[in-house]
A = this chain, B = another copy of it.
Amino acid sequence: MLSLISLSHGSGGELTHQLIDRVFMSKLGNPILAEMDDAARLRDSYCDWCFTTDSFVVKPLFFPGGDIGRLAVCGTVNDLCVAGAVPAFLSAGFIIEEGFETRRLHDVVDSMKEAALESGVQVVAGDTKVVEKGGADGLYINTAGIGKIPPGRKISASMARPGDAIIVSGTVGQHGAAVMLARGEMSFRGRIESDVNPLRALTNALLNACPEIHVMRDPTRGGLATVLNEIARQSAVSMLINEQSIPVSSEVDSICQLLGLDPLYLACEGRVVIFLPAPLASKALETLRRLPAGRKAAIIGEVSGRAQRWDGGAGWQGAGRQVGQVVLKTTAGGYRPLPMLAGEPIPRIC
């Protein structure tokens, strides 16, 4: 049987993980890549560096709250921030479709400039390729980023521990909903602003206040639900999430109800999920809420134990295996597993 790449392989969900495991990790794997954090940690004799990359294929290129340029800077900066690194340098690679308006390229690069200034990073390397009409959809951008990790800091998706509180820094799903609406394919109107923003101020304040943070991650492709599952797997823990506590704006909530979408699977581009020892949760929450971008921060759940499974009415059970489960306590008061994104409801949101 001929196996073909599908849009779901780029969703950030189950199929993306399969592709990574079977193709990339199995062939290119090494101890650094195997850590599977948002940024690679390069250990050096003097200090540790962080290195990460993302390609951006968002459609449309311009949407309320941002554009592909802002996204390309913030996306990579944020991957460095959630690794606990201080973002410093970016590279930018452009793949442009022949016939693209130079004026729009100027607009995109203006956005990159602004986002780079906000993030405190310099673009120090670049590349431009042009492909024939039909060879790309306007413009794709890849950014790679380098940051420095202060000595002694260790933040990783594999560090979640039983007893950790789980915090999200703001409303979820706004970027995914904004991009979806901006495509104009819906039969109704609506305007939702993307949350695309550099996380640097938030993560910096958090790490100053609570250096004991175990995990930070930005819930981009696949949304909050997918990122929680990634952390559950990498840390081999299970967790209980309280649906009622998850901040969702009323606009995103309405759109999701209308379209039968779940905001927990819609991408954010300016939010961070934090795991830290429960006694520190209120301090972290206060720190976040003092910043404009963190006003809606909330504690949304807790890590229940190492590799446990929620077994319906019987509660948490020893799982006898290494991979943990994410369980959602629903607004209605029931419990259900909250799996990783399986299909691809909205392609090309980043």
Which A residues are closer than 8 A to B by beta carbons? 2-11, 16, 19-20, 23-24, 27-28, 30, 32-33, 39-40, 42, 45-47, 49, 51-57, 88-89, 91-103, 105-106, 109-110, 112-113, 116, 122-132, 134-137, 140, 142, 144, 146, 347-348
Contact = CB atoms under 8 A, between A and B. Distances in A.
Contact of A96 (B9, B95, B131): B9
Contacts of A53: 91-93, 125-127, 142, 144
Given A10-B96, A53-B93, A93-B93, 7 more contacts: A3-B102, A3-B103, A11-B130, A27-B106, A27-B112, A28-B112, A130-B347
A28 B113 contact: yes
A283 to B, nearest CB: 32
Contacts of A136: 135-137, 140
A140 B55 CA distance: 10
Given A2-B101, A94-B55, A126-B20, A135 B132 contact: no
Leading 4 A-B pairs by shortest Cβ distance: A10-B130, A144-B144, A53-B91, A142-B142
Given A51-B124, A55-B95, A57-B135, A4 B102 contact: yes
22 contacts: A3-B101, A4-B98, A8-B130, A9-B130, A10-B96, A10-B128, A19-B128, A28-B109, A28-B123, A30-B123, A32-B124, A33-B123, A40-B124, A42-B88, A51-B144, A53-B91, A53-B93, A55-B94, A127-B142, A129-B348, A131-B137, A140-B140
Contacts of A112: 27-28
Contacts of A47: 46
Contacts of A51: 89, 91, 124-125, 144, 146
B33 A93 contact: no
Counting chain B CB atoms within 10 Å of each CB, the highest count among A27, A46, A109 belongs to A27
Contacts of A128: 9-10, 16, 19-20, 24
Contacts of A54: 93, 127
Given A28-B112, A101-B2, A130-B9, A146 B46 contact: no
How many copies of this chain are found per oligomer? Answer: 2
A300 B56 CA distance: 42
Given A20-B126, A135-B137, A146-B146, A5 B100 contact: yes
Contacts of A125: 33, 39-40, 51-53, 144
A91 to B, nearest CB: 4
B52 A91 contact: yes
Contacts of A2: 101, 103
A32 B122 CA distance: 9
A97 B137 CA distance: 11
Contacts of A6: 98-99, 130
Contacts of A39: 125
Contacts of A106: 23, 27
A280 B246 CA distance: 68
